[in-house]
Structure 1
Amino acid sequence: MTGKLIRHWAPVAAGTVALGIALTGCTGFGGSSSGGSGSGGATISFLVNNSDTSVAAAKELAKEFTAANPDIKVDVQTRPQGSDGDNTIKTKLATGDMADVFEYNSGSLFQQINPGQNLVAVTGQSYMSDVSDSFKPVVTAGKDVYGVPFGSGVAGAVLYNKKVYSKLGLSVPKTWADFVSNSQKIKASGTVPIIQSYKDTWTSQLFVLGDFANVAKAEPNFAADYTANKAKYATDPAAIKGFEHQEEAAKDALFNKDFASTTYNQALDMLANGDGAQYPILTSAIAGIQANDPDQINDIGMFPLPGDDASKNALTIWFPSGVYIPKSSKHVAEAEKFQAFLASKAGCDAQTKGSAPSGPYLVKDCTLPSNTPPAVQDMLPYFNDTAKNSPALEFLSPVKGPNLEQITVEVGTQQVSAQKGASLYDEDVKKQAQQLNLPGWS
C-alpha cells in the first residue's frame, strides 16, 4: 500500500461504519468452496497495483492458491497507482477488458466504479462469514457485498525512531504541544525532527488525513455534517487543526531542509537510519522499511498524530483494498474460489510470506507472525479498542476532493496559509459532492 494510496481512501455513505472499530481476527477458511466449481485447466488473471508489496503478496497468493487448486492457475498482472490506476480500472471495466479478479480501493473510490453494474456480488458466499464485519461496509453498494480484503489494515500516524527518542530521553507525545516540544528538542540535538517528502506529493496529506481521529473525538457528528454540507474545514475549529499543525511545523523549520525534493523512499531511509526522528505517514511504510532497511526495523515505533486532549488520544485507521470479480469475467466460479482463498487463514499466511503485514488482517483466525515489527505491535491496542480509533473520514463520507495533496504541499511549503488551504479544499470537494448528487450540495 504505497504510492498514491492516500488518494484512495474512501467511504461508503456516511454513517455506515461505526466511528469506533475493533478489527478482530478470524477463523481460517481452509478450503476453497464457493458458488460453483471451476472447470479443469483454467487460468484466471489477477490485476493488482504495481507497488512492490502488493506484487509480492499477489505472487505468493497465486502460488499458494494453485498449490491448493492445481486445476486453476493465476496470472498476476499490474496497473499503475494513483490517478493513472483509477483511470485504468475505470477503462477496463467500461470496455469489458478487466481481469478475472482485481484489487482496488475500498470505500468511496469503490463506490465510483458502479459496483452494481460492473461487479459480481458475493453477499451470500459462505466464505464471506470469515471476513471481518468491520470491512464489509466499505465494499458494500446497495444491499450487496462485492469484495474480500487484500492486505492488512493500516493507520495514518507518526512513525518514529526509538533510538533517537531514547538518546534524548523523550516520551511518546499524547498532545500536539508535547509533539512540538519533542520536535524542538530533537532539532536542538542536530537531528531532523519531522521528515517530509513532497517529491511524492501524496505523502503531504498526513497532517490533515491522519488527524481525523482527533476531529471525530472532538465532534462525533462531523462526518455526517460534512457529507450534508453543514461543516467545512475552513470554519470548523477541530477540522482545520490538521492544516494549522502542518503550517506551524513548517514555520518552526521542523522539516528536513530538502523536504520539497525528498522522495518517500528517501524519507524511509532517513527514519530508519536516525537522520530524521519522526515521519507522519501511513503505517504501510513499515513494510518498506522492513524491505529496504531490515536491520533497523526494530528501531521504529508508532504513535497517533496527537491532538489537544491526551485523554482522547486516538488512531486514524484505513481499511485495506478489496479484491473484486467483474461481470465480464469468463471464469466467475474460479474467481470465487480465489476470493475464498483470500478470505482464509491460508490466504493471509500466503500474503505474509510475500510481504510483511503493516497491521492486522481483517479475516478471521488470521494472526500476525511472532516477529511482527514493534511499530505494528504499537498499533494493535488502538485497533482492538473501539474507543481508541476512528476510520479515516473517507470511510465515513463520500466527500473527498482530488486535489488535497497539491493543497497540503502548498501549506507545507508556506505558499498558502492553513486558513487558505482549508478554504481551497472546501472548494475542491464541491464537484465530487455534486456529481454524487448529495443532498445540500446543489
Structure 2
Amino acid sequence: MKKGMKRFTIMLLAVSLGASLLSGCSSDNQKDGTNGKVKLELFANKPEAASTYKELIKKFEAENPNIDIELNLPPDADTVLKTRLTKNDMPDLMAIGGNATYGEVARAGALKDFSDSELVKKIQPVYIDMIGKLVGPEKKGIFGLPYVANADTVIYNKEKFEKLGVQPPKTWDEFIQIAEKAKAAGETAFYFTLKDAWTALPAWNALAANIVESDFPEKKNAGKASFQDNYGEVVDKMLTLLQYGHKDNFGKGYGDGNTAFAKGQSVMYLQGVWAIPEIKKANPNIQLGVFALPATNNPEQNKLVSGVDVLLSMSKDTKHPKEAMKFIEFMMDEDTAKTYIAEQSAFSTLKGVYQEDPIMEGIKANFANGAIASYPDYYYPAGMQAANLVQEFLIKKDKEKFLKKMDAEWDKVQNR
C-alpha cells in the first residue's frame, strides 16, 4: 500500500510539474507572441513613415524569424510616451523625435545608455551634441542614437519660380520681393495651414534660429534674456509672412496644405522636407525645389534649421535587451538607412550616407559646409505648448501680450 501510494504521489508530482511547465510556456507565449517568439514593441512618432517602418520590419523579421516587431504609431506620441513613463510602462524600442520629450524621458533614467556602443562612432558628432543639449549637463550619457535628420525649409514650385522669373533668394529682402511678385501676379505666395498649430513652427524656428542667439535658453533660465527682449524681430517677420497667405490661413490643416500645394495653389510652402513625399503622392509630376528660409539680410549668417527627426532608443528595463539591440543594429545598417531616407525625403545622420534626391540640391551645401542650426523650440520647456501660443498670436496679432505670455509660460513650466 505504501509502495502504491508512493508511486501515485510521484505520478501526481510529475503531472503537476508538467502542467506548471506548460502553464509557464503558455504565459511566456502570451507575453512574447506565439510559437515562443520574442515580441518587441516599436513605439514610433511618425505616422507618415508607417509604410517604410512596415517594410523594414518585414525584412528584419525575415532575417530574425524568432523575433516579432509590433509597430505602435499613436496620435500625439509625445504625450503618450510621457504618460507611459509615469506608469513605468516604457516600450521596448523607440523611434522618436530628438526633442524636449526625449530629454525629459532620458533625464528620468528610463532609456539605455549607448555611450559604450560602437554605433555611436557611425554618427556625425553634431547630432550627438544636439541630443546631449536636450538632456542637459546633469545627466551624463548618450540615451538615443540620432538616426534621421530633417530640414526646415521653404519648398517651392520650380515652374512657378520660372514663370515669375525668380531664383531661390539669399536674403530676407529678396525673399519678400518674391512674395510681392507672386502677389502681383495673382498667385498665393505661401500656403498656410494654421488650423494645425504646429505648422506655424517651421517658419518660427527658421527665423528664431537665425535671429536669436543659440544660448537663449540658458540665458532665459538665468534671467538674462526674455522673449520680450530677444524675439521682437522674429514676431514682426512672422506677421509679414502672414500677409502673403491665402483667404483661409486658419481654416486649413497640414493635409489640406500638402494637397493644395501639390495642385499648384501657392508658389511656396513653409514646411520641412518631411512634407515632400505627401506632396508628390498628390502630384507625382510636380517640379519641386527647396531652400533654407533666409531670415536675415546677411547670407553668411543664414543657416538651415536641421534637427534629429528620428532617434533610436530602447527601454533600460526591456526584458529582451539582446533582441532589441539586434533591431537597432539592423536599423543603423547603411543599406537600411539609405532605404529610410530615400522613401522619407530625409537626411541620414550616419557618416557617408547621403541624400541623393535632386529636389534637395538647394540645401546640400548647408550640410556640406555645416551651415546648420538646431530647432529653437526643441529647447523650450516641454510643457510650454509653444505651437498653440504662436497660433493664438497669429490670430490675435497682439505682439506685446504674446511675448509677455511666452515668458510667463516658460517660467511657469520651469518653476513647477
Give TM class, smaller chain: 0.7 to 0.9
Q: Distance in 1 between matches of 2:93 and 2:284?
A: 32
What is aligned with 1:32? none
Report the CA distance shift for 1:230/1:153 in structure 2 as closer, same or farther (over 3 A).
same
**1:129-140 → structure 2 map (5 Å cutoff):** 129-140=121-132
Shift of 1:89: 0.8
Letter in 2 for 1:393: P
Deviations 1:365-387 (A, max 9, x none): 32334xx141x23222112212x
Letter in 2 for 1:230: K
What is aligned with 2:348? 361
1:432 and 2:413 are equivalent in the alignment:
yes
1:278 and 2:268 are equivalent in the alignment:
yes
Report the CA distance shift for 1:48/1:222 in structure 2 as closer, same or farther (over 3 A).
closer
Letter in 1 for 2:186: G
Report the CA distance shift for 1:42/1:400 in structure 2 as closer, same or farther (over 3 A).
closer
Secondary structure at 1:102 match in 2: strand
Report the CA distance shift for 1:426/1:402 in structure 2 as closer, same or farther (over 3 A).
same
Deviations 1:225-252 (A, max 9, x none): 234231112212xx322211122233xx
Q: Distance in 2 between matches of 1:101 and 1:110?
A: 13
1:379 and 2:363 are equivalent in the alignment:
yes
Letter in 2 for 1:159: I
What is aligned with 2:328? 339
Structure with more helix by fraction: 2
Q: Distance in 1 between matches of 2:269 and 2:301?
A: 22
**1:46-65 → structure 2 map (5 Å cutoff):** 46-49=42-45, 51-53=47-49, 55-65=50-60
Report the CA distance shift for 1:74/1:401 in structure 2 as closer, same or farther (over 3 A).
closer
Secondary structure at 1:118 match in 2: coil
Structure with larger RCO (C-alpha < 8 A, sep 6+)? 1
Q: Distance in 2 between matches of 1:224 and 1:50?
A: 30
Q: Distance in 1 between matches of 2:88 and 2:253?
A: 36
**TM-score normalised to the size of structure 2?**
0.83
Report the CA distance shift for 1:302/1:270 in structure 2 as closer, same or farther (over 3 A).
farther
Shift of 1:255: 1.0
What is aligned with 2:18? none
Q: Is the 8 A contact 1:130 1:344 kept in 2?
A: no
Secondary structure at 2:54 match in 1: helix
Deviations 1:380-399 (A, max 9, x none): 2112212x22112245x454
Shift of 1:62: 1.0
Runs of 4+ in 1 over 3 A off after TM superposition: 137-141, 219-224, 397-401
1:246 and 2:235 are equivalent in the alignment:
no
What is aligned with 1:235? 229
Report the CA distance shift for 1:401/1:420 in structure 2 as closer, same or farther (over 3 A).
farther
Match of 1:193 among 189, 193, 197: 189
What is aligned with 2:279? 289
1:145 and 2:131 are equivalent in the alignment:
no
1:99 and 2:85 are equivalent in the alignment:
no
Q: Is the 8 A contact 2:38 2:66 kept in 1?
A: yes
Q: Is the 8 A contact 1:212 1:393 kept in 2?
A: yes
Q: Distance in 2 between matches of 1:335 and 1:220?
A: 36
Q: Which has the larger radius of gyration?
A: 2
Q: Is the 8 A contact 1:195 1:255 kept in 2?
A: yes
**1:20-31 → structure 2 map (5 Å cutoff):** none
Q: Distance in 1 between matches of 2:253 and 2:377?
A: 25
Q: Distance in 1 between matches of 2:235 and 2:143?
A: 35
Q: Distance in 1 between matches of 2:281 and 2:86?
A: 36
Q: Distance in 2 between matches of 1:343 and 1:115?
A: 24
Shift of 1:429: 1.1
Shift of 1:173: 2.0
Shift of 1:138: 4.0
Match of 1:318 among 307, 319, 326: 307
Count of residues in correspondence between the two structures: 377
Secondary structure at 1:311 match in 2: coil
Shift of 1:287: 2.5
Deviations 1:300-353 (A, max 9, x none): 333324323233222122222222211331111110111112222032134246
Shift of 1:183: 0.9
Secondary structure at 1:276 match in 2: coil
What is aligned with 2:17? none
Letter in 2 for 1:77: N
Deviations 1:58-116 (A, max 9, x none): 212212222333332322122113xxx22311222333433211222224221212445
Report the CA distance shift for 1:50/1:310 in structure 2 as closer, same or farther (over 3 A).
closer
1:90 and 2:93 are equivalent in the alignment:
no
Q: Is the 8 A contact 1:211 1:316 kept in 2?
A: no
Q: Distance in 2 between matches of 1:204 and 1:180?
A: 18
Report the CA distance shift for 1:133/1:311 in structure 2 as closer, same or farther (over 3 A).
closer
**TM-score normalised to the size of structure 1?**
0.78
**1:214-225 → structure 2 map (5 Å cutoff):** 214-216=210-212, 219=213, 221-225=215-219
List alignment gaps of at least 5 residues for structure 2: 1-35
CA RMSD of aligned residues (A): 2.4
Percent of pairs with identical residues: 21
1:202 and 2:183 are equivalent in the alignment:
no
What is aligned with 1:12? none
What is aligned with 1:8? none
What is aligned with 1:11? none
1:169 and 2:198 are equivalent in the alignment:
no
Q: Is the 8 A contact 2:97 2:311 kept in 1?
A: yes
Report the CA distance shift for 1:434/1:122 in structure 2 as closer, same or farther (over 3 A).
same
Q: Is the 8 A contact 1:243 1:421 kept in 2?
A: no
Q: Distance in 1 between matches of 2:108 and 2:115?
A: 12
Q: Is the 8 A contact 1:227 1:398 kept in 2?
A: no
